[in-house]
Chains A and B, each alone.
With several copies, the nearest count.
Chain A
Amino acid sequence: MAEILSLHDAVARYVEDGATVAMEGFTHLIPVAAGHEIIRQGRRDLTLIRMTPDLVYDQLIGAGCAKKVIFSWGGNPGVGSLHRLRDAVEKGWPHQIEILEHSHAAMACAFEAGAAGLPLAVLRGYVGSELPSVNEQIKFIECPFTGERLAAVPSVRPDVSIVHAQKADRAGNVVVEGIIGVQKEAVLAAKHSIVTVEEIVDDLDTHPNACVIPGWAIDAIAVAEKGSLPSYAHGYYPRDNRFYKEWDAISRDRDAFTRWIEDNVIHSIGRHSTDGAQSGGSVQ
């Protein structure tokens, strides 16, 4: 049953050094505030899972939280590279990280299989791709009915999944609306889950087939107003496209990056940002 905690306490309780963590949100509703809280708490050796690592994973990697990244597309959407991810992979700064890469289809199916309690996902995938030669977790099975060769990947079952959503009610039931990505799957596949929300309301006021995650399937709810910026929250605020472009310059340079983290993450508790770049400071 979901407990309503501060973001600090939720992260402190469920994100341990060495944990496997999935922070999801497909461009929309990225749990940026929670990522910043992980940086502030100095977590280390995390295995970070995410279909589309973007700015928040770039920040976690640059801040030295990551040991390994499991992903299918790691870039700054519409802008270019993730320079902190590249610096870690290409030059080992701040330390070498392991990467394990999949295709989107395989990761989406692996999240689905994790939510479905299965050890593997089966898909018609990776045909002719060289990814199986660099990822030993990609195997192939034969369909017992047709003989067709199909790809199999292990399901995703994180220690903790963190997602951001529009709102929760007081029982911790959460509604996700708009581009829903693999958020529900991430929560259901994980041993523990934290959902940050824009607000807590008396009544979710949803339609019969809304994407609602029941409170009893979640461990912690934390209010993180604007907790997704520079990503966006459908119905609450738009994407800060400008900051995505600005990040390119900030993240190219190790010093500029470090200063940015110092100013906007480490020392930002309780502050509110005006440029949309900072977030995680407006919790509670």
Chain B
Amino acid sequence: MSLEYTSGEMMTVTAARALENGTTCFVGIGLPSEAANLARLTHAPDVVLIYESGTLQTRPEVLPLSIGDGELCESALTTVSVPEMFRYWLQGGKINVGFLGTAQIDRYCNLNTTLIGDYKAPKVRLPGGGGAPEIATNAGEVFITLKHSPRAFVRDVDFITTLGFGRDGKGRDNVPNIGRGPTRVISDLCVMKPDPEDHELTVVSLHPGVTREQVQEATGWDIRFADNLESTPEPSDRELEVLRELKARTERAHAGQ
């Protein structure tokens, strides 16, 4: 542990570590994609990465800018149509982990990527649901990664684009054929998990040097801390080196275009 690292790197490394080798992972673009590829290049060489563009089991050399970069197809085992991707692979139950980012998340892990404000007269119109609504319900479980801020971590999202555990924490109760939902949220400050009883998001691990107060300040509700609050293990030198090489390769590749 000799290398210095940023809170962003801490977040990515921690998110990457969540992915077990051999898992099939439906990967969102951006932070989830960065974490999933870091996992593949470090402890999880046989993690299967699937992007909604239809690329099955892809091994990109550099991070894709878009969900459908050519690199994803060229390095994939095969590429299927988008209807097939959503029908056979996601809804068909072949995905262990859906790895998502979001604009807003609330205390019951509901995600909002639709809009800020009122639906009819939005203050900010966001891109929309994309694949997330069905990734969150059809994958075996869901990991979420995003940066901590009071605008991102809100008590109640303005709009539930994607189900966490609903407005009351009970949104998955008695629903047949649904995945376990969010099992962990990784930010640049900490790791959170839904409480096993009422599903309220609870900090289970603080990143090194981060205080409870910092997490609370960056969260839009009174966030709970686990009784046995842990300290997130630091990134290893190898993880940092691989991540930095990946990002440098990516930057070079995209600048060239």
Contacts and interface: CB of A to CB of B under 8 A. Distances in A.
A and B touch in the complex (CB under 8 A): yes
Interface stretch (A33-41, A73-81, A255-263): A73-81
- Majority SS at the chain A contact face: loop
B86 A104 contact: yes
Interface string A208-243: 111110101100000000000000101000111110
B91 A116 contact: yes
Chain B interface residue bracket vs A: 35 or more
A116 B138 CA distance: 11
Interface stretch (B52-60, B194-202, B206-214): B52-60
A180 B79 contact: yes
B137 A128 contact: yes
Given A112-B83, A130-B160, A73 B125 contact: no
Given A72-B129, A179-B53, A210-B78, A125 B87 contact: no
Interface in B149-177: 159-163, 166, 171-172, 175-177
Contacts of B130: 52, 72-73, 103-104
Given A178-B73, A214-B57, A128 B160 contact: yes
B200 to A, nearest CB: 16
Contacts of A28: 53, 68, 70, 73
Contacts of A239: 65-66, 69-70, 257
Interface stretch (B3-11, B22-30, B140-148, B229-237): B22-30
Nearest to A209: B79
B133 A103 contact: yes
B127 A73 contact: yes
Interface in B20-76: 22, 24, 29-30, 48, 52-57, 64-70, 72-74, 76
Nearest to A134: B119
B18 interface: no
Given A101-B114, A239-B70, A116 B87 contact: yes
Contact of B125 (A52, A77, A85): A85
A188 B137 contact: no
Nearest to A233: B70
Interface in B78-92: 78-83, 85-88, 90-92
A51 B54 CA distance: 14
30 contacts: A26-B67, A27-B69, A72-B128, A89-B125, A103-B130, A103-B131, A105-B133, A112-B87, A117-B87, A117-B177, A118-B91, A123-B91, A125-B133, A127-B163, A128-B110, A128-B137, A128-B160, A129-B161, A131-B133, A148-B176, A180-B79, A185-B83, A188-B88, A208-B73, A211-B78, A212-B56, A214-B56, A214-B77, A234-B70, A244-B66
Given A26-B53, A216-B48, A234-B70, 12 more contacts: A27-B67, A77-B68, A81-B127, A105-B131, A115-B88, A117-B177, A127-B133, A130-B114, A179-B54, A179-B70, A185-B81, A234-B73
Closest 8 CB pairs of A and B: A27-B68, A128-B163, A75-B127, A77-B66, A73-B130, A78-B65, A212-B78, A105-B134
